[in-house]
Amino acid sequence: MFNQDILNRFQNEETPFYYYDLNVLQQTLDACTNAANRYNFHVHYAMKANFNPTVISKIRQAGLGADCVSGNEVLKAAEVGFDPSKIVFAGVGKSDKEINQALDLDIFSFNVESLQELGVINSLAGVKGKKAKVAIRINPNVDAHTHHNITTGLEENKFGINQWELNDCADALRQSPNLELIGIHFHIGSQITDLNVFKSLCVKVNELHQWFEERGFNLKVLNVGGGFGVDYHHPDTNTIPDFEGYFKVFDQFLERKPAQEIHFELGRALVAQSGSLISRVLYVKNGIKKNFLILDAGMTELMRPMLYQAYHKIENISKGDVAESNKYDVVGPICESTDCFGKEVELPASERNDLIAIRTAGAYGEVMASGYNLREKVKSVYS
């Protein structure tokens, strides 16, 4: 990913910065849309993964819709040109202001996460004389077998309407003149690499789909969410996720009626591998038990390792493959002991000013940046 031209460019940039390889992004988008089109599946991009303007404009040009989880994401999606008829809006805590904004835009659907929210959307749509399109987000109680902090489809999670509430939900829908039920929605978690998990989801969706049909609800859309994971260990050799294999599971196991639309909400799989966080070594500090590589990037630029103990490959791109290596704890400058990108990382013997790449940072990197310690927001570089 880092040829000599890129390295020369990096030398002149102020670090840290996010680097996006737009070719990798395009190849990923092409692979996804080609595979989805084969099955006539619709993909909405989960904006929360990365809303860098250059990145989302490429995604919009690829023809994807937008999956949003805040009023600002909905507004941003519309502002950058996503057609409102391709915008969906999920989230457990939609405020009245956010619901009203989305109603004004006539978005494709509200993915509703509680009976209370259903009532509020019905009232607010009524005031505007509109009919809001809604999909019911159901908590399917399917284990995503991923990190417990990014699991969303278990009964202990706050997301979605529980299955034991569905009778009340059906009654509420019948009594809500300002709502149009268009479908059901699921999202069970993120960074899911075991495709069997999606098979289990399909089985559950089929069961719940039938439940609604038996009660006279005609579902135009089955939205199975996102969550497809990427290979954090091999960003160079396993760069493009196997979208074909992923969609095939749904083609095989999801029962679908003719004319019924199948929707996906992919975030990470589309953007993760195209991004890296590029940083410089400030100091090499040799301790008695440890050697520390102190970088000018920290948890303020990429929080995943600290928040979920997530692995990101770390490379010294100034040194390349040199024989002599050392083990370092690679840390940032933030005043927190957890500000560590990796422990005992084997790297070439490193020096002050070496460039360090923290890979697979295109998803949930820049968007989760913070200003803690009064850090400045860092810029992005593209090729």
Q: Which residues are annotated as a binding site for substrate?
A: 268, 304, 308, 336, 364
Out of 24, 32, 47, 49, name the contact with ligand LLP by CB under 6 A: 49
Q: How far is the CB of 225 from ligand LLP (least distance, A)?
A: 5
Under the binding rule (CB under 6 A), the answer on residue 59 touching ligand LLP is: no
Residues 376, 143: Cα–Cα separation, whole Å: 38
Under the binding rule (CB under 6 A), the answer on residue 153 touching ligand LLP is: no
Binding mask 70-89 for ligand LLP (x = CB under 6 A): --------------------
- Sole window of 26-34, 56-64, 263-271, 369-377 interacting with ligand LLP (rule: CB under 6 A): 263-271
Residues 381, 275: Cα–Cα separation, whole Å: 10
The tokens 């591998």 sit on which residue?
A: 273
Residues 181, 176: Cα–Cα separation, whole Å: 10
Under the binding rule (CB under 6 A), the answer on residue 65 touching ligand LLP is: no
Q: How far is the CB of 66 from ligand LLP (least distance, A)?
A: 11
Under the binding rule (CB under 6 A), the answer on residue 241 touching ligand LLP is: no
Residues 369, 378: Cα–Cα separation, whole Å: 9
- Sole window of 44-52, 207-215, 289-297, 374-382 interacting with ligand LLP (rule: CB under 6 A): 44-52
Binding mask 203-232 for ligand LLP (x = CB under 6 A): ----------------------xxxx----
Out of 50, 109, 122, 191, name the contact with ligand LLP by CB under 6 A: 191
Residues 119, 116: Cα–Cα separation, whole Å: 5
Query: Contacts with ligand LLP in 311-350 (CB under 6 A)?
Result: none
H or E element, residue 41 = none
Q: Is 214 left (phi over 0), alpha (psi -120 to 50) or beta?
A: alpha
Residue count at the site for ligand LLP (CB under 6 A)?
21
Under the binding rule (CB under 6 A), the answer on residue 140 touching ligand LLP is: no
Residues 163, 253: Cα–Cα separation, whole Å: 21
Residues 34, 43: Cα–Cα separation, whole Å: 11
Are the C-beta atoms of residues 173 and 217 closer than 8 Å to each other?
yes
The answer to whether 32 is a known catalytic residue is no
DSSP 221: E
Q: How far is the CB of 120 from ligand LLP (least distance, A)?
A: 19
Under the binding rule (CB under 6 A), the answer on residue 136 touching ligand LLP is: no
Beta pairing partners, 258: none
Q: What is the separation of C-alpha 232 from the centre of its chain, rounded to a whole number of angstroms?
A: 14
Q: How far is the CB of 322 from ligand LLP (least distance, A)?
A: 32
Length of the chain in residues, anyone? 383
Are the C-beta atoms of residues 363 and 47 closer than 8 Å to each other?
no
Q: How far is the CB of 160 from ligand LLP (least distance, A)?
A: 9
Of 319, 325, 322, nearest to 356 by C-alpha is 319
Catalytic residue among 32, 169, 202, 335: 335
Are the C-beta atoms of residues 246 and 41 closer than 8 Å to each other?
no
b/e sequence 353-377, b meaning 16+ C-beta within 10 Å: ebbbbbbbbbbbbbebbeeeeebee
DSSP 179: E
Q: How far is the CB of 90 from ligand LLP (least distance, A)?
A: 4
Out of 86, 268, 280, 312, name the contact with ligand LLP by CB under 6 A: 268
Q: How far is the CB of 209 from ligand LLP (least distance, A)?
A: 18
Under the binding rule (CB under 6 A), the answer on residue 139 touching ligand LLP is: no
Q: Where are the beta strands (DSSP E) in 38-107?
A: 42-46, 65-68, 87-89
Which residue ranges make up the annotated binding site for pyridoxal 5'-phosphate? 227, 265-268, 364
Under the binding rule (CB under 6 A), the answer on residue 132 touching ligand LLP is: no
Of 361, 219, 272, nearest to 32 by C-alpha is 272
Nearer to ligand LLP, 330 or 363 (CB): 363
Are the C-beta atoms of residues 126 and 178 closer than 8 Å to each other?
yes
- Sole window of 42-50, 120-128, 172-180, 234-242 interacting with ligand LLP (rule: CB under 6 A): 42-50
Nearer to ligand LLP, 151 or 350 (CB): 151
**Active site residue ranges:** 335
Instruction: Give contact residues for ligand LLP (rule: CB under 6 A).
Output: 46, 48-49, 67, 90, 150, 187, 190-191, 225-228, 265-269, 304, 308, 364
